[in-house]
Structure 1
Amino acid sequence: MNNKYEHLYEKTISSQSIYEGRIIKVKVDDVLLPNGHTAKREIVNHQGAVAVMPLTDDGKLIAVRQFRKPLERTIVEIPAGKLELGEEPLACAVRELEEETGYTAQNMELLSSFYTSPGFADELLHVYVATGLAKGESRPDEDEFVDVLELTLDEAKELHKNGEIRDAKTVVALFAWENRVLRSRE
């Protein structure tokens, strides 16, 4: 830790594992606060994930529509998936793009890496821009059911406006895509 910010540090006094699943682990930590008091922190551990913003040569975004059980509805998202143990983010991005959409990309560029919800989770998400796309056959996981969509920027913005695009990674990608389009017009 940087000593410059030591006055903000919360020291872990104890940690109790609550749940260990295939995707997440949940624990409750007792921490010593900077003011000397104690508090509990509920923490979700996740090994990280990637998302891909695939852009076709004719200016469309490849997205997927899928049912999300925590929301009890379908939403439209950019392709994404969790990192396997020891897997490099770029390799995961290449794999997820092809599995979910059937597309491969000549170019993959890291757009950004960010924590999805640092108030309770340590998940780090890496978002890539994929260009030079070639269409192939998708191979979703056996428990994954998706519709592959090709969207113009205006169509994607309308899906965001009407609530079909609501997840953080896709909203970030949408704004980055719009910014990219605006910069290309300058």
Structure 2
Amino acid sequence: MTAAPLIPIVDSADRHLAEVRLNSQEILRGHFLHAFRDQVRMPDQRTASREYVVHPGAVMVIPLLEQADGSVRLVLERQYRYPMGQVMTEFPAGKLDPGEDPFLCAQRELKEETGYTAKEWARAGVLHPVISYSTEFIEIWFARGLTAGQRRLDAGEFLDVITATTEELMLWCMTGQVTDAKTLAGAFWLQNTHGQAPSWPLVWKKSHTAA
């Protein structure tokens, strides 16, 4: 499979850093991953090989579970990740289906994996977790006004749902108990939206499925 030459998506001031795809070879089409090996022209006009994975994109949800005393706990998951060979602590997340709206995906993944639905949602931003070898992006969403319900895990999906305070999550990040990149990014957003001196505003909107 040969793809059309890639037009760099860069500002004109950065054009001197861009690489241009000359040709592309498909090297793997799996159930989930799609890998390519491209030949590119570098800024000095020499050529080089670039191998990368095309990813459909994903969402991550930071669920805020309000307590009766006014405090908030975070909903997290513990799941065995085969490439790492260990159980990882992370925020709920999942990949986008073809053509799926990220907001709807966030609502679907939260319900399927944790059983919770949320009354209000706020899009925080986007992260690119592995920019050196993948097109993957992850949209970060906050959810609040949670209501517990039944999970609907996919076949072959096994995970535990836990809750933690923000302070506990920060400690786990500091000590290396949490090393998942998207969850570390989520902790960074938490510090700036719900920390002692929040400076990053969130714009909340109602769930599509809320009454």
> TM-score normalised by the shorter chain: which range applies?
over 0.9
1:183 corresponds to which of 170, 186, 197? 197
Alignment correspondent of 2:52: 43
Please say if 1:13 is aligned against 2:22. yes
Question: What is the TM-score of this pair, normalised by structure 1?
Answer: 0.94
- Could you say which residue in structure 2 is the equivalent of 1:149? 162
Q: 1:81 aligned to 2:94? A: yes
Correspondence for 2:207:
none
How far is the alpha carbon of 1:16 from its aligned partner?
0.8
Q: Paired residue for 2:42? A: 33
Instruction: Report the AA paired with residue 33 of structure 2.
Output: I
Structure 1 gaps of 5+ residues are: none
Number of positions where the alignment pairs a residue of Structure 1 with one of Structure 2: 184
Give the match for residue 201 of structure 2.
none
Distance 1:161 1:153 in 2: 12
Indicate the SS of the match to 1:150. Answer: strand
Offset at 1:120? Answer: 1.1
Matches within 5 A, 1:1-186: 1=9, 2-58=11-67, 59-179=72-192, 180-183=194-197
Q: Percent identity?
A: 37
Alignment partners' CA distance in 2, 1:5 and 1:156: 38
Instruction: Calculate the TM-score normalised by the size of structure 2.
Output: 0.83
The letter of the residue matching 2:15 is E
Moved segments of 4+, more than 6 Å: none
Distance in 2 (alpha carbons) for counterparts of 1:173 and 1:111: 9
